[in-house]
Structure 1
């Protein structure tokens, strides 16, 4: 391999690729990072509109229970104290999320946990689904009919493009019910948004590393493969293997960004639209992630759609058919000695940001650099 110039070619500059590149560079390894997009950062990329850091690919709220991961990200940027407290709009009324005593009061007028528990337990018991056969039955067995119909039934149809009764039960393993007046969506100890946006984090990770944007690995694969001793691949694992066992399926998202010449549009960073009167699943008002006081505001309407050639894959459809296909690709990946697969697309699993970082740090640690 006379053309070898790098220790690692890293395909994709999202969080996984950027963390791995940073760790490898720190260990004295020479890295080249390429990305088919015209910007770095993958889905955490932000664009500045009206002086507001707009999350280009949907809301990204950092949260973790790991002090190690929290300290790790804070070396690249200062994080603010933003707490995610979304609202849900259903049949013209607003409710607090996650499901907590505020939600239960808004639904039934109950004021104590025991009152709320008695209603929910009665509804769950009346459903009588000891072995739920689909997502609808699973949800009814966890939270009862009222919560299911108000917040889950139609939202799920928009999110997945099919009725909850046609989706596998395992998609919802649990639906937390919180019997306190606490609107903090996450239970994790550490939470916030990087002050100035996620671009600062990624740029600092990659500041001493060669980065080539608008470079598609698959358009000149043999050339890129010749450049490095090892490849870190963060794209779709089925695409890496030319879809030889079939395509893994995803749900995708479409974003419509709007600038409004008013100070506040909805008064909250995230509002979910749970019924079918709106085609979108939620509206994000970005300025609230960083407590902005700009005179105008930017919102994003988020639509769940089927993946196509012109859309980005977001949510893996981890049903039986796709998991069988994935297993065949994983068998091929296990035989690779010079390719490291990592991230949500390469591993075909939904990752939160802290999980991506932990996975990248683990893969970097496995390299046992001296």
Structure 2
């Protein structure tokens, strides 16, 4: 049986300087990540997305929800959105949660204060913000400082007595020196520093730098808790420094959550491997591409929504009709399970059946809705070009009289 390789930090070539990658091997994956990001950025510019646009609000909310969910913590969507809106200076009467506010503050600080040095004090303040009560669950933890316990820092799974050790980080006594080297590398490889490099020394690619920073930080695991969330905030900061993008357009943590098992496997494989981390950089680049692709689809939907409402300019729609149409748009192609009918419309708007029937008929006649079926089985779908709602196109017909509803 092939012996398990030592943890990466136990290798003789564990970085006094930095982890390395083969730029030529990683080039195709990195190039595709840049291409997809360019497509995403172009779409965002085309529709004039601002920092308080719905897409931007959703992207930041997704990042907060996903980075917590990766650690098994499920946050309330309403609480997260409320916190994000307050952070962006928007009015909201939503719920307040100090832990959620702390996570939003960490991610926002990482992506906005990108020219502020990343140092020990800033990292410790981030970790402290994640645990405002000084506890993780019901357990008290070291907050606002590196871990200092004598026990090994291990990532384990399984029942007590049958645990599987997936990774063991450097001893607590080694953390300050390890982090000092990491922080120095992060500063030395920043885009600002790279611009001053001599021609003979090539700067580290921005996407590769973010990948390496995440792996390096997670391998040190400097805090008693919160390392995953802070490590992904460091990724956000590295990407923001590189792309200089004023608006967050995608959530890399959402992609990591979607590929959670593969994410853990890739990290674990890299932490057991050599200090040449090319495979990790390639995997990270592919996830960046996927995250940009997912965000691009979201922007496509935003464009479709805008076009839909532009067509409705001058339409004599009641506010309740607009509310229902917006809900159908937000749910996307086929997202409103089972389609809309008079009963669902009544529940959504509080109107009588006669009014629901009339409203639906008006929207079919006006071209806002399409219908499928007849009699009690009729269902209504938002009329967006290209949306099939999972139905055969030829089976969808226009209903123009209330008798057919």
TM exceeds 0.5?
Answer: no
The normalised TM-score by structure 2 is 0.22
Q: Which has the higher contact order (CA 8 A, sep 6+)?
A: 1
Decide which structure has greater helix share.
Answer: 2
Decide which structure has greater strand share.
Answer: 1
The normalised TM-score by structure 1 is 0.24
